[in-house]
Every structure is written in C-alpha cells, then in structure tokens.
Amino acid sequence: MEEKMKIRCDVLGLCETRQKKEMSARWEDGCAVRLGKADGSRSVGGVGFIISKEWTTKIASCHFVSSRIGVLNVNLSGKATLKIIQTYAPTSASDDDEVEEFYRQLDMVLARKSTYTVVMGDFNAKVGKGRQGERYVGKFGTGERNERGERLVTMVEARKIYIGNSLFKKNSEKRWTWIAPNAAHRNEIDYILVDKRRILQDVSVVTPFNTGSDHRLLRAKIVIDRTKEKKTLQLTSREERVKVYDGKRLQEAMERKSWCRIDGIDDDYDSLIEKLKECLREAKEAGPREQKGRISEETKKLLEKRKNMKRTAEDHLEYS
C-alpha cells in the first residue's frame, strides 16, 4: 500500500497464530508485530499483523475483537484514517451459530467510521463470479459459490464493500489460494475487500513465496493519491442527495409488476430484487439540492423585507 509521496506501507495479515496471549513485539529491522490469541478451548484461530518500519509511527491502535478478528487503525495524512481488518472465518465444519457470531462481530467492526477500510483474510468461502443484481462482486471469481460464499456476499452487498479478487482477470493457476491435503482440490477462499474501489489497483497470489501452509500468500496493491482523494471526497460530499420516492408512483409500479414465483430459489431471488429496483427507479424523485451559499432563500426574503421597512416606533418589534 502506498501514498503518492512514495511512502510505502506493507501490512501483512496473519491467520492461525498459535500463541495463548496477545503479543506486541518489534523485529531487528524495525517491523512491528501484533499478534492476537487463539481460542484456548480448542487452540484454533488467532490473527495478527506485521507492520513495516516506515508505518509503525502511524499506528493509531490495534486490538483483537476475538480469536478470529483483529483491527489495525492507521493515521494517514491530514485527518484521513485507514482501518485494516484481519479475519479468519470458521471452517465449513463449524455450526451456523459460530458463523453468524463471526459475521456479527465483523459487522460491528465495519460499522466504526474510517476514511478507508480494508478487510483481508481466510473467509473459508467460495464466492465465484458475481450474479445479476450484485454490485460488489466482480465477474472474475472462480469456482461455484457455496453456502459460506452466499453469507459473505450478503455481507459485502449490505456493507457496500468490494471483493477485490473478483475485480481482476487472472489465470486460473494464479487465482486459487488454498489446496486440499491430497492436492485434488484448489479453491479461492482467501479474499481482500475494500470499501473504495478507486484505491485498489490489483489483487494477486504471490506464487514464488512458500509459507509452509496449505494457503498461498495474497497481496493487494492499494494507492491513495492524497491530492485526488481530497477532491474526490469533497465532491462526493457535495453531490450526496437524499433519495426521495413518490409513494403513489411506487404503489402503482408495484401493482403493475408480476410477483409470481419462478423455478429455482436463486433465480427467484434475483428476479425479486431486480423488480424491486425497477419499482424504485420509477418512483424516484429529485432529492433536495444543496443550498448554494450559507443563507437560505427564506432568510434572504426576510432581509429584503427588513431593508424596505421604515424603522418607526410602531414597526420596531417586527423590524427586530
């Protein structure tokens, strides 16, 4: 990750660390190490961060929500902040309650405000290619989506976070991130997610790097151009509009649609979402525009009225 002033940031996320207590250390080369603890009852989980020397002074905080989620907050230039979340999701063998608790905690962390958010780690989920109506899953995913993948997609669509791997076209041999013990299966289950698409330039597997694990190292290239970002953030803030819908037009649009079920639960869901979006588009009205200047039209009229008033004893109260 780098800012435009050639400042380079290397933050390496770690999954499945095995220490029993949270640990903070510094290597001889100046890199900072922050490690969370594993789940003591089963000795599973445990995540952490390795932060390059140049970025250790920018660390605002680092804490571990659980054995599966760690959060590193970094101060960038000005008031901008970067939140990096390292995850290690429950495996397919875990029960649904454990999976839901993981996503509940992750959602809680995502809700905390920051200028930029990056989520990375082992999600134990196969997402595959984006489907109709999905905005935050790209068309370059690999494999067939499974139940855990559906849960991940539900989260990214709700939180408006892009699955970075799926946005870049890669050779199939450079996509898989995990290999089965018998080497018969290779899946893409590790992901890097971002909330701002424009800062992400690439996500790729580092093939020559041998971690001694059944997972391969995944790397993202993130560039934050401070000048461009300042203009973009200001423009986004100015252009934000409140969405307003005409209730009568919305009702009429919904009455015109056919809401019959179709075969296949996935196709039925996609059809429902698309029809709802069409109804909203038909009922949408122009939102209130931002007032130009700091004085409203109503106040300007009052000022004009006061200017034309005669300041007499009878009109003194109204004038004031």
Is it the case that residue 159 has pLDDT exceeding 70? Answer: yes
pLDDT (mean) for 223-247: 74
Pairing outcome for strands 218-224 and 2-3: parallel
Residues 98, 106 contacting (CB under 8 angstroms): no
Question: Residue 120's pLDDT band (boundaries 50, 70, 90)?
Answer: very high
CA distance 277 to 257: 12
pTM metric for this prediction: 0.70
Q: What is the pLDDT of residue 32?
A: 94
Q: What is the pLDDT of residues 166-219, one digit of tens each?
A: 999 999 888 999 999 888 899 999 999 999 999 999 999 998 888 788 999 999
Average pLDDT of the chain to the nearest whole number: 85
CA distance 21 to 44: 13
Residues 42, 62 contacting (CB under 8 angstroms): no
For helices 96-110 and 147-159, the axis angle rounded to 10 degrees is 20
- Phi and psi for 314 in degrees, rounded to 5? -70, -35
Lowest mean pLDDT segment, chosen from 221-225, 293-297, 298-302: 293-297
CA distance 320 to 315: 9
Q: Render the burial of 92-121: b for 16+ CB within 10 Å, e for the rest.
A: eeeeeeebeebbeebeebbeeebbbbbbbb
